[in-house]
Amino acid sequence: SSSLVQEKYGKISKDYQLLNPPLGKGAFGEVRKCVHKATNLTRAVKIISKAQTPKAEQDRLKQEVEILKQLDHPNIIKIYEFYQDQKYFYIVTELCTGGELFDKIIEERSFDERKTAETMRQILQAVNYCHKNNIVHRDLKPENILYESNKPGALLKVVDFGTSLAYDPNVKMNQKLGTPYYIAPEVLSKKYDEKCDIWSCGVILYILLCGSPPFNGENDEQIMNRVKIGKFSFDSEDWAGISDGAKSLIAKMLEKDPTKRLSAQDVLNDPWLKQASGIDVVDK
């Protein structure tokens, strides 16, 4: 297939100046800011060491590039180029300067309902677009959702398609991956489909409103055991002032049975989400 995103060998330094310090670090590499020499525009580059990356992960990286190339949505990070030289792979994408949703939650402890709904609406629009194109993300969490800039009202962008997959809607998946707090119970126990992303979004929604995760524990094993049981509560003080509409949406996203769990489109149509995010203007 022809593509606007070219694969180039050993030429990143010809086109880009890489800047320090790293913006973020991951399992197999780091993300740095870079300047496109021809236009002077700043972008981000995810750099992955070939020597430190097992073959399976290298294949996954190419999958990430292929998927990013296909996706074109305002709430999904855009890819510009993919380079490689003897030592590294480089994925050049648009730069987000506003930081992770994760850090914003830590900073503000929790969001009010309006801000939560507007945040979730953007995330679900990205997820709905992915699912309509038969792409599942599989690692949705606040560390992988970035603010485009520091300006008020900055768009959110979903990043890190390193665990994503172009799936066949008629074939269930079985690879166990994700992050303990956010992973869906069916991913841990049996075959699963794209609804695993909705569970993770339900966890994000819960955290945004109260500031702590619905399934918690002292270690990953304990957290995942609680995910498998799937019981969560709105008992803490933090939930006292939160509307029934918000709680009801969480319950429909953290539904253990994926066939009964809402789809991304269903979440976008939810009355609380529409009303609280200001999309639906209700006559009084």
44's contact among Mg ion, ligand ADP, none, with CB below 5 to 8 A by partner kind, is: ligand ADP
Contact between 162 and ligand ADP by CB under 6 A: the answer reads yes
Least Å from the CB of residue 41 to ligand ADP: 13
61 vs 48: CA distance, rounded Å: 9
CB-nearest residue to ligand ADP: 26
In Å, the largest CA–CA distance within the chain is 65
Contact characters 155-174, Mg ion, x per CB under 5 A:
-----x--------------
Contact between 76 and ligand ADP by CB under 6 A: the answer reads no
Structure tokens at 61: 């990286």
Is 46 part of any known ligand binding site? yes
Contact between 44 and ligand ADP by CB under 6 A: the answer reads yes
Distances in Å between the alpha carbon of 186 and those of 142, 173, 175? 21, 10, 11
Query: Which residues neighbour 198 within 8 Å (Cβ) at sequence distance 6 or greater?
Result: 127, 253, 261, 262, 263, 264, 267
Q: Which residues are catalytic?
A: 139
Through-space distance between the first and last CA atoms of the chain, rounded to whole angstroms = 54
Structure tokens at 156: 């959110």
Contact between 23 and ligand ADP by CB under 6 A: the answer reads yes
150 vs 205: CA distance, rounded Å: 22
Which positions lie near ligand ADP, rule CB under 6 A? 23-24, 26-27, 31, 44, 46, 77, 93-96, 100, 143-144, 146, 159-160, 162
Which positions lie near Mg ion, rule CB under 5 A? 144, 160
Specify binding-site residues: 46
